[in-house]
């Protein structure tokens, strides 16, 4: 297996990885915190290269991306491991395990593209676990995808160093970044990460002109207060009020036994966010209104969503048919 990028030799046979802000020092025979980058004989190896734990042809709305080729399907792949350890992780069965604890199938970049083409998908999404710790594979696959005219999408926690991010952005068409809370203590206590690198990633994506949507998992009593929602909304607003925000309902998972986020809490946060942001959605909850897209100028419904059924009812291209406003929407 080829060696990893973004590392250097340390003392003795140890190595240090610089892919994400953890900068793990890794002793021979062990892995970094993500569990997948392993020091083998003094060389850092990305052991999950082309090794896939989950794959599916998904509606693009499931990523979630609501403003990027709405109604299309995208070939979605994920592996194992994550560089964060959120105690509420909804995908912990693949994100919090090592490659030895999960059955993995080989899907080369060429095979991923063959399936994407065969299913007539708009492109390929790296999702389910944290894709940026899979850097070498996602880079190679994204290159093949772009060469053949397919779109490349990441659903990520955004906890990555600036250099690997800078290299992958020109091969990226859209990203959904999970912004868990505008609170560094929250990141440290509940996610084993830090806030600022995630904010830096979001800013870099935006400045690179890559389509960007943000997801916030609302956890009752942890990050759902009006103050917490205001901090999140204000930060996004300052970057661009037209960035779509997905407020996602949490369910008990992994080490978190909080009850599912109550619908009134979801509704309150949604209404609050809509006071400043142009496009706010509720996810993991049944609400046609909170999953539809409304024109930011005239308020008309332009895309109706019911589950994963998507109907474009008031758009011609990315223009509102009622008032002529050009909406932030990437379409065919």
Could you list the residues that contact Zn ion (CB under 5 A)? 295, 297-298, 300, 320, 322-323, 325
82 binds ligand SF4 (CB under 6 A): yes
- At 145, list the tokens: 């995808």
Q: How near is the Cβ of 178 to ligand SF4 at its closest, in Å?
A: 6
Q: Judged by CB, which is closer to ligand SF4: 221, or 317?
A: 221
Contact by Cβ (8 Å): 154, 134: no
The smaller minimum CB distance to ligand SF4, of residues 122 and 182, is found at 182
Task: Report the nearest approach of Zn ion to the CB of residue 299 (Å).
Answer: 7
Q: Which two tokens stand for residue 306?
A: 């019911």
Instruction: Tell me the window of 47-55, 128-136, 291-299, 306-314 that interacts with ligand SF4 (CB under 6 A).
Output: 128-136
Cβ-count burial 199-223 (b if 16+ within 10 Å, e if not): bbbbebbbeeebbbbbbbbbbeebb
Which residue has the closest beta carbon to ligand SF4? 32
- Binding site partner of 2, from ligand SF4, Zn ion, none, Cβ cut-off 5-8 A by kind: none
User: What does the alpha-carbon distance between residue 180 and residue 283 come to, in Å, rounded to a whole number?
Assistant: 14
CB of 164 vs ligand SF4, minimal distance in Å: 9
**What is the per-residue DSSP string for 43-54?**
EEEETTTTEESE
State the number of binding residues for ligand SF4 (CB under 6 A).
24
Identify the residue among 50, 67, 76, 130 touching ligand SF4 (CB under 6 A).
130
Considering the complex, state which of residue 1 and residue 319 has its C-beta at the smaller distance from Zn ion: 319
Q: Measured between alpha carbons, how far is 110 from 249 in angstroms, rounded to an integer?
A: 36
Quick check: helix, strand or coil at residue 302?
strand
């Amino acid at each position: 297996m080829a060696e990893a990028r973004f590392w250097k030799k340390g003392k003795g046979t140890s190595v240090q990885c610089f892919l994400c802000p953890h900068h793990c020092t890794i002793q021979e025979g062990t892995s970094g915190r993500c569990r997948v980058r392993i020091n083998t004989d003094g060389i850092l190896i990305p052991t999950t290269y082309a090794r896939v734990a989950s794959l599916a042809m998904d509606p693009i709305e499931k990523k979630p991306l609501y403003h990027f080729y709405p109604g299309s399907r995208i070939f979605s792949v994920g592996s194992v491991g994550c560089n964060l350890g959120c105690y509420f992780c909804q995908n912990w069965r693949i994100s919090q395990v090592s490659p030895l604890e999960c059955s993995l199938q080989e899907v080369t970049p060429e095979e991923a593209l063959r399936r994407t083409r065969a299913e007539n998908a708009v492109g390929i999404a790296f999702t389910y676990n944290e894709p940026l710790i899979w850097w070498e594979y996602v880079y190679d696959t994204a290159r093949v995808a772009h060469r053949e005219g397919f779109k490349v999408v990441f659903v990520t926690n955004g906890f990555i160093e600036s250099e690997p991010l800078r290299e992958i952005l020109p091969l990226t068409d859209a990203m959904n970044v999970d912004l868990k809370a505008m609170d560094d203590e929250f990141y440290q206590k509940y996610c084993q990460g830090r806030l600022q690198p995630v904010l830096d990633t979001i800013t870099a994506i935006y400045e690179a002109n890559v389509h960007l949507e943000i997801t916030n998992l609302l956890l009752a009593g942890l990050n759902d207060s009006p103050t917490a929602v205001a901090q999140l909304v204000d930060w996004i607003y300052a970057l661009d009020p037209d960035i779509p925000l997905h407020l996602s309902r949490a369910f008990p998972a992994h080490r978190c036994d909080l009850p599912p986020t109550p619908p009134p809490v979801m509704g309150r946060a949604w209404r609050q966010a809509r006071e400043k942001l142009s496009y706010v959605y509720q996810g993991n909850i049944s609400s046609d209104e909170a999953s539809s897209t409304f024109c930011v100028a005239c308020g008309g419904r332009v895309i109706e969503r019911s589950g994963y059924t998507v109907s474009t009812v008031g758009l011609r291209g990315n223009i509102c048919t009622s008032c002529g406003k050009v909406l932030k929407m990437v379409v065919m």
